[in-house]
Amino acid sequence: MTPISAPELAHWLADRQRPRPLLLDVREPWEQQVCRIEGSEPVPMRSLPDHLDALDPAQPVVCICHHGRRSAHVALYLVRQGFADVYNLTGGVDAWAREVDSRMALY
């Protein structure tokens, strides 16, 4: 699992030469209604085991939550499940809102 900052992720997403990662938003549905990173896939942490078969272990995955704690646990879980290219968004959507997209709601 590799930590990635909000500006680093924004740079990656803007780079059309680089394969697009799966943005795995593991927050609760009510949190995702407040704000979300465009293009992220909502899969609450508690339901991840039920969705594991739908994920491509060959695709890079960036795990996202509110501040980066829950997503760090999910990233480690994915690594243990055989996913090789896994990142954790340091600071979560809070960092994204503060450092990349100031229009995004904070909570």
Series of mean pLDDT values for 10-residue runs along the chain (107 residues) = 98 96 98 97 97 95 98 98 97 98 97
Phi-psi group of 46: left, alpha or beta (phi > 0 → left; psi -120 to 50 → alpha; rest → beta): alpha
Per the structure, the complete domain to which residue 26 belongs is given by 2-99
Instruction: Please report the pLDDT score of residue 26 as a whole number.
Output: 98
Which amino acid, one-letter code, is at 106? L
107 located within any domain: no
Instruction: Please report the pLDDT score of residue 61 as a whole number.
Output: 98
**How many independent structural domains does the chain possess?**
1
Residue 7 vs residues 13, 88, 93, 102: alpha-carbon distances, Å:
10, 13, 12, 13
Radius of gyration of the chain (CA): 13
Please report, for the domain that includes residue 93, its CATH number.
3.40.250.10
The sheet that has 41-42: what strands, in order across it?
2-4, 86-89, 61-64, 22-25, 41-42
56 located within any domain: yes
80 located within any domain: yes
Catalytically annotated residue among 26, 37, 65, 97: 65
Instruction: Please report the pLDDT score of residue 80 as a whole number.
Output: 97
In the 8-state DSSP scheme, what is residue 16? T
Strand partners for 89 = 4
Active site residue 35: no
